[in-house]
Chains A and B, each alone.
Chain A
Amino acid sequence: MADCVLCGCCLEGCPLLAATGREELSPRAKALLAGPSKWNAGELPETDVAALTGLCLGCGRCEKLCPQGVRVPVLMAAMRAGHPDFKQWLWKQWITKLGPFWSLAARGAALAPEAFVPGSLGLALKGLKGLRPGKGLAPWLSITRFPAQAFAAKHAGRAVAVFDGCVGQGPRAAWAETARFLLRGLGAEIVEAKFSCCGSTLGMAGLPEAQADARRANIAAWRGAGRPLLATYCATCRKGLAEYAAGGIAGGLFADEAEAALWRAAVTPLAALLAGAAAKTGRGAPAIVGYHQPCHADLNDGAGDADLALLSGLLGLRLRTPAKGGCCGFGGILQLVAPELSLKVGRGCWTSLDGALGFSAAPEVTPAYVLTGCSGCAMQLSATAPRGAQVGHWLEIILRK
């Protein structure tokens, strides 16, 4: 990997530095300590280095800014992988054990008295409570026109599988149902496949074997379904899936370059398939709707954030996006390792949302109403939301009929 030259270009984007003013949490500090840099601090205790550098949101903003191609989140994941007693066990419990029981876990979380919750799990459980089954935004948007012709022209004869991810498979089964409703509207041939976790968070948590297992399972399921298009409605899942093929066949996941290329072309945001749709708002539509852009939104390697483009088209002037959208602070395992840092970044995010939406001026009149396109962001925003705020995935506002 390329070497950090300490130029500091990354400082512009780091949500953790912006929220805390603590330079030791900046990507440059982490590259200095953990990177291959010959300017690194050398003789420092490895466990201390691992603990400090582990305080990373994994949002990836620094890698987009780095002129040298240094990837701090990847360095961090390698660091965690090298330290088995690091707190990643917590996240492994979270993803691998709770995974199949998410809805159950969420119900339990809603009942658990705060006092019994271990400190570091508090915020995570609060997020889960926000996502407990049955609770979600009330829908108010009817799709009046599906871009079926455009879809057919571009993807004629290609089946579509929906990649639901951990949240869509669990506490938010409604997302999965709406996604399929929308695909039917497009006239798509839907195939079902049994997918696992996308593996993003497992990798971040320093669990490369678990990540590789999840990836192999997903590719097997995709092959089994006849290599269909893979529609995702979670920005982090999309990024995670796209990375399978980032190294071509070097990662050992694909049979050959052709299959890797097929995968690359197959992974697509659900919103991109819906580009050009029209809608009308029904009763209960809020006057102002905020959009929180996930850090993992596809900004560089595609036509921009497909979720934002779709929502702008459907909601028009009703939709507001902060000029300088902040990271929500979910950050994979940061929420478990250092919940207070995660919370601080989350507060900054709500401040910038408030700047665009102005809900704090009169919360009774225009309460905060925020949509996003990422499971992690939806969880974190629910956990950190001001009183009375409503947060959800954009799929929740769509009427199915």
Chain B
Amino acid sequence: MTSTSLAGALTPAHLRFLEDLFPGEGLVTAPVEMAVYGADSSRRSAMPWAVVRPRSEEQIVELLKWAEAERVPLVPRARGTGMSGGAVPAFGGIVVSCLWLDQVLNVDADDFAADVEPGVVTAEFQARVQKQKLFYPPDPASLKISTLGGNVATCAGGMRAVKYGVTRDYVLGVRAVLPGGRIVNAGGRTHKNVVGLDLTRLFVGSCGTLGLFTRLTLKLLPLPEGSATVLGAFGSLQEALAGARGVFRAGILPTAMEFLDAKACWAIGQIRDVPWPTGANGEAATQAVLVLKVDGSKAALAAELARLEAALEPANPLCLFKGLGAQEEEPLWEMRRLVSPACFHLGPDKLGEDVAVPRGKTAEAVEGFQAIGREQGIHVVCYGHLGDGNTHVNIIFDAADPDQAARAKACKEAVFRLTLALGGTLSGEHGTGITKGPYVSWQLGETERALMAGIKNVFDPSGILNPGKGWG
């Protein structure tokens, strides 16, 4: 990546240019107002040089012409809910907030496609298309607070990935502005398209390093009529994993298949009443929880629930809770969604990893991660998308204690090594950002990294877009 010649700060002339291009509240330069734009859910932060809020593509074109000429780094940002610091201007630059580009441009029930601006909140978009009996499946845990632009930039995953895939499977086209002000129209509105290289996929998950999105074309599905959920508690991790295998062997493809390990169950119990046995009254304590969802026609769901129950039964669940329809299901899923914040009850600091392994290796991986925690004497909480092999490994520690901090780092590296040894990947859905950036070379070879650097160079020859978030 060429980043040696980038500007080191904004000059008065730069600020005058920005004031002209982004009048009024479009430009933010007061440090108190900029502070939040330098932080994200990775809990890393750096003060931006300035923040701009474009309202139009024309402004973005002018901004990128200028930034390329002046070698000023730009860091695209939506709601800043990423977990790996992708939106943190750790290497300086202007933060470009796309929250004023928040229009759903069209939703077409015959094309099964929609055009949106990047600042649309994902859950609001889902609610909007649902009115037309359409379905946008990607559902990162942050869907109520994150945006489609951010989801595409990080190729956000989610719980439904086991059946419906991840964000990249729903992006038909991307319109983006490149350094110098060039406009790219990648992909289109058709569900099939093999003319030329797949530039759309290059943009998805590129973490704002290739261009600034101005319009996304998303694929939609017919909305399933209903859904049902089963939550099962198990006396051992092995039994829970056997239950999960039983479900697939029975020929059921669940919409979501999530699991929580013993420590995750305990942490959730610290902030909410939990439905599973905790051992507080002398009963066998829950060591793992599975939450499964199925969807389809209303007529078929009751039968599907019975099949799920039968498939889980041989694994000796301690208890099973069933919910038919959103209202009954919601409290069961609430448990799963709370786990990430609940982990802070085990300690004040956390490294949140999201490794993925080939699906058949999940049991081996989770047992290995838990053993690493025991060896290092650190809380390691495992939970996540059991169905697709993507496990969230939360390493909880107290950063104020240098010894704990060192052991937490050792844990993280051991988790990475084990993941790679099992043929897995360092990040299933969070992206590498700044927290995992230094480890990319553990996974990607020199040839692959050189190819990626070459591609980056074609889009962004001066390296002004989100510097430091690469694959070096």
B469 contacts A by Cβ under 8 Å: no
Chain B contact residues (Cβ within 8 angstroms of A): what range? Answer: 35 or more
Interface flags for B333-347 (1: CB within 8 Å of A; 0: not) read 000001011101000
A6–B43 contact, CB under 8 A? yes
A26 contacts B by Cβ under 8 Å: yes
CB closest chain-A residue, reference B124: A324
- Most A CB atoms within 10 A — which of B36, B100, B145? B36
B37–A6 contact, CB under 8 A? no
**In the complex, A9→B142 CA distance in Å?**
8
**In the complex, A28→B80 CA distance in Å?**
10
A262 contacts B by Cβ under 8 Å: no
**In the complex, A32→B31 CA distance in Å?**
13
CB closest chain-B residue, reference A45: B32
A29–B142 contact, CB under 8 A? no
B41 contacts A by Cβ under 8 Å: yes
A44–B35 contact, CB under 8 A? yes
Binds B, one of A17-25, A224-232, A314-322: A17-25
CB proximity of A322 to chain B, nearest CB, Å: 13
CB closest chain-B residue, reference A40: B35
B32–A41 contact, CB under 8 A? yes
A360 contacts B by Cβ under 8 Å: no
B438 contacts A by Cβ under 8 Å: no
Cross-chain contact of B45 among A7, A41, A44 (Cβ < 8 A): A41
A44–B43 contact, CB under 8 A? no
**In the complex, A1→B53 CA distance in Å?**
33
CB proximity of A64 to chain B, nearest CB, Å: 13
Which residues of B lie under 8 Å from residue A6 when comparing CB positions?
Answer: 39-41, 43
Chain A to chain B contacts (Cβ below 8 Å), 22 pairs: A5-B344, A7-B41, A8-B81, A8-B142, A11-B145, A12-B123, A21-B97, A21-B100, A22-B99, A23-B79, A23-B97, A24-B28, A24-B33, A24-B34, A24-B37, A29-B35, A33-B36, A44-B35, A45-B32, A48-B30, A52-B33, A67-B338
**In the complex, A49→B35 CA distance in Å?**
10
A52–B80 contact, CB under 8 A? no
A48–B32 contact, CB under 8 A? yes
Which residues of B lie under 8 Å from residue A49 when comparing CB positions?
Answer: 32
A67–B37 contact, CB under 8 A? no
Report which B residues bind A (CB closer than 8 A): 25, 28, 30-41, 43, 45, 47, 53, 79-81, 97, 99-100, 102, 119, 123, 142, 144-146, 271, 338, 340-342, 344, 348
Cross-chain contact of A67 among B28, B30, B271 (Cβ < 8 A): B271
**In the complex, A321→B214 CA distance in Å?**
35
Cross-chain contact of A68 among B30, B32, B123, B344 (Cβ < 8 A): B344
Question: Assuming A8-B41, A26-B36, A41-B47, what are 15 further A-B pairs, CB within 8 angstroms?
Answer: A3-B348, A7-B81, A7-B340, A9-B341, A22-B99, A23-B37, A24-B28, A32-B36, A33-B36, A39-B39, A41-B38, A44-B35, A48-B31, A67-B338, A68-B341
**In the complex, A176→B123 CA distance in Å?**
42
A23–B341 contact, CB under 8 A? no
Which residues of A lie under 8 Å from residue B35 when comparing CB positions?
Answer: 24, 29, 32-33, 41, 44
**In the complex, A22→B53 CA distance in Å?**
9
Work out how many contacts link A and B, with CB atoms closer than 8 A: 87
B32–A44 contact, CB under 8 A? yes
B43–A39 contact, CB under 8 A? yes
B341–A7 contact, CB under 8 A? yes
CB closest chain-A residue, reference B340: A7
Across the A-B interface, the 5 shortest Cβ-Cβ residue pairs: A67-B341, A29-B36, A41-B35, A21-B99, A24-B33
CB proximity of B342 to chain A, nearest CB, Å: 7
CB closest chain-B residue, reference A48: B32
Given contact pairs A3-B348, A48-B32, A8 touches B80 in the complex (Cβ within 8 A): yes
Which residues of A lie under 8 Å from residue B102 when comparing CB positions?
Answer: 21
B45–A39 contact, CB under 8 A? yes
CB proximity of A14 to chain B, nearest CB, Å: 10
**In the complex, A24→B41 CA distance in Å?**
15
Interface flags for A44-56 (1: CB within 8 Å of B; 0: not) read 1100110110000
**In the complex, A49→B40 CA distance in Å?**
19
**In the complex, A41→B36 CA distance in Å?**
9
**In the complex, A206→B58 CA distance in Å?**
44
A12–B45 contact, CB under 8 A? no
A33–B97 contact, CB under 8 A? no
A21–B119 contact, CB under 8 A? yes
Which residues of B lie under 8 Å from residue A5 when comparing CB positions?
Answer: 43, 341, 344
